[in-house]
Every structure is written in C-alpha cells, then in structure tokens.
Amino acid sequence: MTALTTGTSGIISFIGVGSNLEDPLARALEAIEYMRQISGCRVLRRSSFYQTEPVGVLDQHWFINAVVEIRTELTAVKLLGELQEIEKRMGRQKQQKWGPRVIDLDILLHGQEVIGEDDLIVPHPELHKRRFALEPLHEIASYVIHPAFGISIAGLRERLTDKSKVEIIKETRMVS
C-alpha cells in the first residue's frame, strides 16, 4: 500500500459494505482489509456492523452491513474500479438485482461530488431510501451533507420511511 503524500490530501469517501453469504461478517472484514491495500487510499474508520433485513428480494439470508470512511486520491471512477476488483477477487458474481452476494461494495458518497454516468452514480441513488446504509453512515458521519439534497445524513435518517429491521451487532471477537 502506498501512503498518501500528506495526512489531509484527497477526498473523503464513504463506502457501503454488505454481505449475506459465506460467513458474512468475515467477508465484510476481508473486504475492509483489501480496501486498506488500495494505493492512494487510507481507511480512516468504520461503523459498527449491522444485521439487516433484506430489501427487494426478501427470500434470502439477512445481510451484514457497515460503512467505511476513507481518504482517497482516486477519482470516483478509479475508486469504483478498485472496489469492483475486490468484489471480483472475493468471488462476487452479479446475478440477481438485490439478491444474495458474497460481497457488495458501493460508493455512497465521494466528497461533495454529484456524478451521473451510465456505470457510476454518486451519491448512491438509493442511499436516502435505505435504512441498512443510513444507519451505519449516521453512526460515523451524521453531520455530512448529502450533496444532491443539501440535507445532513441525520436529516435523511429522520425522514426515512424504510421500516426494514437494522440491528447493531454486539461484536464478540476482535475486529478492525
């Protein structure tokens, strides 16, 4: 891993981490370790892990979700490429939308950028609708302003209509 040139250069990004296959907590931890190895990125902190009810496709195992805050010198497009490479390395196969997955890494926010390309939309287009993403993001960055809506993460959470179950996991083993 290449260290950043200074402690304050780069963009603060928030990455959603999710898994519901093959020991989901272990897969989430593995993905975070891979994120630590991305050149031009530094993991700053992560939320607690949450056990979350599936959304969209309900007939599947519950998910483990978290949010990781990173400082990166990468553009959102390059960061997406790195995250997709981690997913591929971990055996992710894109099959069913909202279906089961060994790992899912999503750029939720990339600084205050608003990007609308065919293969990348930032902020994540479902962020404001999904309790499984807002709860862990709120835990570590309630004050951050959603760049498209001009509302804090705390404000989005207060307005949330998603009633799906999201429960913090009391961690019983050492995690990063």
Q: Which two tokens stand for residue 119?
A: 């293969």
Catalytic entry in 42, 71, 104, 130 = 104
Is 101 an annotated catalytic residue?
yes
Active-site residue, 89 included = no
Token digits for 32? 């975070």
- Is 27 an active-site residue? no
Q: Is 42 a known active-site residue? A: no
What distance in Å separates the CA atoms of residue 147 and residue 105, rounded to the nearest whole number? Answer: 20
Identify the active-site residue in 27, 71, 101, 131. Answer: 101
Give the whole-angstrom CA distance, residue 151 versus residue 165.
Answer: 23
Q: Which of 92, 131, 157, 159 is catalytic?
A: 92
Rounded CA separation 72/40 (Å): 6
Task: State the catalytic residues.
Answer: 92, 101, 104, 106
